[in-house]
Amino acid sequence: MKFIIVDDNNAIIFLFTEILKELGHEVVATASNGKIAIKLIEENQIYFDIILMDNRMPVMDGLTATKEILKINPKNKIIFLSADYSVRDKALEIGALDFIEKPIDFKQFSDRLAKYT
């Protein structure tokens, strides 16, 4: 499967890129905030299966980005990966498939992804 990772922390992007590779997936794009993610999706029309979305980011947070991305295409699949558990219910309510709280371990992450891949 092909993923976009949206997170303002380069170490997190690197970690999840490596984990996804280990699981046989590919990261086709990354973005450091929601605004960049939206631009990637609108302008490049890149093919992807799932967006991994953080919430707390500069410029545009994950909740706002999720709303906009789902306006572009309601079939986009977004999984939140965030330490901000307080937004879990809102993320799911606006259309995220799942919410995985950071920090996570490899087994937990792979088990949750298996539901969608």
Q: Please check whether residue 52 lies inside any domain of the structure.
A: yes
Write the CB contacts of 68 (distance below 8 Å, at least 6 apart in sequence): 34, 38
Q: What is the mean pLDDT of residues 18-30?
A: 95
Question: Model-level pTM?
Answer: 0.93
pLDDT score, position 58: 94
Q: Please check whether residue 46 lies inside any domain of the structure.
A: yes
Q: Is the separation of the CB atoms in 63 and 90 below 8 Å?
A: yes
Reported as a single tens digit per residue, the pLDDT across 92-115 is 999 999 999 988 888 888 999 999
The mean pLDDT of the chain is 93
Q: Please check whether residue 82 lies inside any domain of the structure.
A: yes
CATH, residue 80: 3.40.50.2300
Q: Please check whether residue 83 lies inside any domain of the structure.
A: yes
Give the number of domains in the chain: 1
Residue 32 DSSP code: S
- Judged against a pLDDT cut of 80, whether residue 28 lies above it is answered with yes
Q: Which domain holds residue 31?
A: 2-15+25-105
Angle, to 10 degrees, between the axis of helix 106-114 and the axis of helix 10-22? 60
